[in-house]
Chain A
Amino acid sequence: MKKIKRPFLWSIVLLLITIFFMFTAGLMFKMTEIKAGIFFTIISLFILLIVIVFLLPQMIKNVIKTSKTNIYFKIKPLGYLFISLIILIALAGINTGNNLLYLIFSFLLSSIIVSGIISRSSLYKISVNIENASDIYARKNGEILCNVKNKKKKIPSFSIVLEMKLSNQTILLPDGSKISKEITGYYPYIEKNKKIKDTGKINFPFRGIYKPESTFIHTSFPFGFFKKGKHLPSLGEVIVFPELLSNEEMKSFDVFKDFEEETNKKGIGTDLYSLRKYIPGEDTRHIHWKSSAKTGTLIVKDFSEVKSREKILIVDNFTDKNVEGYLWEKFERLISILATSFLKTRENFSFFSFQYGKVEKGYELTYLSKIKIERLRSSDIHPINSESSRNLMREIDIAKTIVFTFLNENFYKSHNINFGKVIEIKNIK
C-alpha cells in the first residue's frame, strides 16, 4: 500500500500546485498580462508533465502489482440454478412490470455482488504455514501442524478450504518423478487477527524435506453458488525422518557386529576391562585398592576403551554413475538402517559428511533425512579432494570410521585415506 500511497500523495501535491499556477495563469490572461500568463501556463504544464512521466507510471505499475492476485473463480451447479432463477424472475418482472418482482430481482442480483465481496474478503490476507508437530518417520503416522492465520484486522474469514501439495525436495524416485503428498483442511471460521493451529495425522511414504509446492485456498461462502480461490505463497516445510526398520529386518544387517569385535580393546572408559600389575609412573587414581590389599602388590584397573564402541559413519553420497533402481533402493535402505541403529544406541554413532563436515549432535536424523544421491562430474572433484574435507578428516579417527559408498573400495586408498571399513552400497543386503 505504501508504494501506492507515496506517489499518489506526491501527485496530489503537485497537481494542487499545477492548479494554483493555472489559476494564476488565468488571472494573468484576464489582466491582459499575456507573457506572464504564458509563463505560468508553461510552468503548470511542466509540472503536469512530470506527474505524467514520473509519478503516474509508478502508480499504475504498483497498483497492477498489488492487485495481481491470481483469483480463481468457478460457478457451481447451484450457482447456475440460481442465475437461471434470477433470469426467470427478471423476465417475469419485465413482462408484468410488477415492482415486487423487480424488488426481489434487485435483491438477488445484489446478493451476487455481496457474495463476491464477502468471499473475496474471506480469502484476503490469509497465510498458511506448515511445520512438524512431532517427529515424523516415513511410513509411520506422524503429526503435522498447519498454521492458518487471518491477518485481517477487522474482518473474520469463513469456510476456507485449504488444498496443499507438499513435494519432496530431497529425493526423486528412480524414474525421476517427484514424490508429493496432498493435504486438505477446512476452516469454517477464522477470527480476525487470529491463528488456527491445526494438527493432522499424516503418513509420508519417503523421508526428506517436504515443502509446499502449491498452497491453494478456496471458499464458496456465503451462499455456495460460486467458488472463489487463491494461490498463496508456499511457506514452511516438514522434515520426514527415514523409515525405521523392525528388529527382524535389522538382524539381517551385520555390518556393525564384526566392526564391534575388532574394536574391543582396552582404553580409557568406565567399564572394568582387566586387572594387572602397576607400572611405576601410571596414574595412581587407577590403583584397585581392594585387589592390592588382597594380593599385597599394587594392582591397577584397566578400562575398556569407550572410543572403541563409538562409530563414525560416513555416507558417501557421491556417485560417478547413474543410480539404478536397485541401487537407489539399497541407498534408501541404508539410510533407514542407519537411522534405526542410531535411534537404538544414540551415543555410539557420530556422522561425518563430505559436504557438511561433522554432523552436530542432535542433527543426525535431520542429516539422514536430507542426504541425497549426488552425481559427480568427474572423480577429480569428489569433495574428498577439498581442503575443508581434509582438514575435517584430520579431526576424526579414520581407522575407526565406516564409510558407505557407491564408489569402489579402492577409491579412498588411491587418495591415501584408509578408512576402518568401506562398505559398498551395492553389497548391502
Chain B
Amino acid sequence: MNLSNKKHFKIILFSMVASSYFTIGLSGKLDLPFNIIFLLGIVVSFFLNKGQKKKEPFKFYEMVIIFILFFAFFIADYLFYSGEIILSTAHVAILALIFKLLTIRSGRDYFYIFLLTLSIILISTTITFDIYFLICLLWFLISATILTMLFEIRESSAKINPETKTLEYTLNEWDTFLKRENLKVSPIIKMGIISLISMATITIPLFFTMPRFSLSAFNINFGMKNYISGFSNETEIGDVGKILQNSKVVMRVVANEDLGKLLPDIKWRGIALDKFDGRRWSISSKAYKLIEKSPRDKMFYILKRNSREILLKSTFYVEPGISEVLFTPWRPIAIAGKFRNLILTRTSTVKMSTPIFKKFKYKVYSDIFRPNLSELKKIKKIDIAKVSPSTLEIPDYNEKIKNLVLKITKDKKTPVEKVLTIERYLKKNYKYSLNLKPVPKDEDPIFNFLFISKKGHCEYFASAMAIMVRYLKIPSRLVNGFRRGDYNKLDGTFVVRELHAHSWVEIYFNQYGWISFDPTPATSEMFKESFISNLIEAITFIWVKNVINYDFSDQVRLFWKIHNTTIDYKRKFKKLRENIMDRLANYLQSKIGTFDRKINPIFYGKKLFFMAIILILTPILLILAIKNVRIKNKSKKYQNIYSKIMNNLLIELKKRGVEKKEGETLLEFVNRIKHKDLKDELFNIVKLYYEGRFGQRDNEEKLKQRIKSAIKKLKEINTL
C-alpha cells in the first residue's frame, strides 16, 4: 500500500464520515428521509470525488450566500419539519457535510469536513446513550487520527515555499517524492493506532478525575416524551401486555449478592392502582406527598421503618424513556438519587417530581420483610376503616363472579386463607397466553376472562384476583411493575427487559399493611440467555454504570478508594519496617546476648565485627563515589583551565599587536612571531598546552610558570 495512492486518503476520509452516519443513524432518532439523504450523499460524493482537482476556494460573498441558505433551512426545518432544535441542527450539519464533500476545493475543506463530522458525533451524544456509540466513537477517532496525520503531511509538503526551496519537492512533486521514498501508508496507520491507544490511556484517568458539575443552565431534552405503556396513572387492561413481547432492556438492578437465592420471586414494584372502572385501572386520589431530600444524608425517606425489617439495598440503572415511576422492591424505605423531589402517591407509588429523559440511576433501601402465614392467619377480620373505599369498589357487580368466589372459599375461615385459595384457583384453572382476541367493548373483561376465554396474561389474572377478593370485602389493589429479570452471572446484575413487565395484586392485612400475591401461573422464559448475550450485557452494564451514570458521588468514592489504598500501603510499609527492626533486634540479641549489659556492646563486643566492616567500607565507598563522579568531568575541567590560561597569554600578545588569526593554529601563529627567544619560549608553552589539554597530563603548574616568564619577557621586548 503506497501512500502516493490518493485512494487511501479518500477511503480514510469517507470512513470518518461514515462513522458519523452510523453514530447518528443507529440512535434511531434520525428520520427516514434524512437517513436516505445522508447515506446517498456519502455514496454519491465518494464516487464523484476524483482526488484533488484544485479549484478556487469560495469567495466571501459566495460563503455568505451559502451560510444564509443553510440558516434559512435551519429555521424552516425547525418551524415546519422537525420542531426540535437538536434535530434541526443535526439536519443542517448533515446537509453541510454533504455539501462540503461534493465541493472539496482547498486543503482547509478537509478540516471543515472533520469539524462537521465531529459536530454530528457531538449532536449524537445528546440523543444516544448506548454502547454502540463508543464503538462508533472509536471508529471516528481512528479514522480522524490517521486522516489528520495524512492531511498534515500533505499540508506541510505543500507549504514548503517553492521560491526559497532548493531541495526538490513541491506540492506537484508530492507523488514523485512519495514514490521515490517509497513511503508506505502503513507506518502512518501504525502511528495512528499507537497514538489512539496512548490517547485512550490518558483519556481514562482524565475522564474519571475531571470535576463533574451539572449547571443545567441550558438543557435540552430530546423528544423522548413517550413512556412505555402500563405505568401511567390510568392503565387499561392489556397495556402491560403490549410490551410483553419486546426484549428491550428497561433497567439493570444490582442488589445484594444472594438476592437471587433469597428471593427468587422478588419483583420491582412500579405503580399501584386502586380504582377499577370495569376496563381501566387508575389511582382514586390525586393527593400526594412531596418528599424532599433529607439535608442530613441527601436521602429521600419514603415509608416508615418497621421493627422487624429486613433491609435490602439495590441500585437501579434505568434506561431513558421508561416511566416517571421509580421501581423499587416492596416496601421502599429510603431512596438516594439525583432527583429534585419525589412524590409519594396514596397507593405508595414513588414518582419523580420532574421527569428525567436520559439514563439515570438511584439506590433504594427496602424492607422486604413478609409476615409468615401463621401470623396472617391470626387476622380474622380485615379492618377496612383505614383504607380508601376505592380498594373495595366493584364496578360491574356480577352474581356469577360472586358465586364463584363464595364457592371456592366456602371452607376457608380467615381472610388470608381465602385470598390464597383464590390465588391458587386462578393459577390452576386458567391458562397464560399472549394471543388474545380483543374483548368486545360492551363486555366485562374480567367476566370474559373468568368464564369465556379462560386465558390471559398477568393483567387479567391480577385484575380478576383483585376484583374477586373485593367480593369478600377484602381491600385490594393492582400493581404494575417488573419481574426480577435475567440474572447475569458475569457481572451479578439483573437485566430487566420489557418482557419482564408484570402485574400482581396487593391485599391489605391490618397491621401488616399491603402484602403482595401473584395469581399468574409460571411462564416459560421468553428471552433465551446465552454466554454471548450475557457477555454483551455485562459489557453494556460496564458502559452504563461507569461511563453514562458516572457522577460526582462516584468520583468522591473513587478518590476515597485511592486514599484508602495509599493509607493501606502506608500501614503495610510501617508493618514491614517494624518487622525488619524486630528481626534485626532479634539477630543482634542472639549474637551479643542480652541488652541489659552495662558495657556498651557496640564499642566493646567482639562479635560485632560485621558492624566494623560496614563502618570501614562506608568511607571507601564514599571516596569512590566522589572520585568517580569527579573523574568523569576531569578532561573537561582540564580543557577549561588550559584554554583559560592560554587565552590570557593570547590577550597579552594581542595587546602588543600580535593577533592570532581565525582559523590559524597555535603553531602557525607562533611561527609568525619574529622575536627568536620569545618564539622558542612560546613553542614550549604551546607544547605544554597541547599535552595538558589533549594528553590529559597535569601540566597546569608548569604551564602557569612558563606563561608567567613569557609575559615577563613580553614586557622586556618593546617591539615584536
Contact = CB atoms under 8 A, between A and B. Distances in A.
B283 to A, nearest CB: 32
Interface string A184-200: 11101101000010111
Given A14-B621, A33-B602, A188-B181, A182 B187 contact: no
Contacts, number: 232
A106 B600 contact: no
Contact of A106 (B115, B206, B215, B217): B206
B646 interface: no
A390 to B, nearest CB: 13
A6 B628 contact: yes
B129 A222 contact: no
Contacts of B551: 97
Interface in B240-269: none
A193 to B, nearest CB: 14
Contact of B178 (A188, A202, A221): A188
B471 to A, nearest CB: 52
A224 B187 CA distance: 18
A337 to B, nearest CB: 26
Interface string B331-360: 000000000000000000000000000100
A28 interface: yes
B355 to A, nearest CB: 16
A205 interface: no
Contacts of B115: 81, 85
Interface stretch (A110-118, A289-297, A298-306): A110-118
Interface in B168-213: 168-169, 177-178, 181, 183, 187-188, 191-192, 195, 198-203, 206-207, 210, 212-213
Contacts of B169: 185-186
Interface in B606-626: 614-615, 618, 621-622, 625-626
Contact of A96 (B3, B219, B615): B219
A14 B149 contact: no
Given A54-B629, A106-B203, A31 B595 contact: yes
A223 interface: yes
Contacts of B625: 10, 13-14, 50, 54-55
B548 interface: yes
Interface string A79-103: 0010001000100101111111111
Contact of A223 (B118, B152, B167, B633): B152
Range of interface residues on B (Cβ < 8 Å): 35 or more
B564 interface: no
Nearest to B146: A222
B156 A146 contact: no
B585 interface: yes
Contacts of B152: 159, 220-224
B102 interface: no
A198 B167 CA distance: 8
Interface stretch (B157-165, B303-311, B685-693): B157-165
Contact of B210 (A78, A92, A106, A161): A106
Given A99-B547, A102-B207, A110-B206, 12 more contacts: A3-B632, A14-B621, A27-B588, A31-B595, A33-B601, A36-B600, A43-B615, A81-B115, A146-B167, A159-B152, A222-B145, A386-B672
Those 3 A-B pairs whose CB atoms lie nearest each other, nearest first: A97-B214, A200-B167, A110-B202
Interface of B: 3, 111, 115, 118, 121-122, 125-126, 129, 133, 137, 141, 145, 148-149, 151-153, 155-157, 159-161, 164-169, 177-178, 181, 183, 187-188, 191-192, 195, 198-203, 206-207, 210, 212-219, 358, 547-551, 580-581, 584-585, 588, 595, 600-603, 614-615, 618, 621-622, 625-626, 628-629, 632-633, 657, 671-672
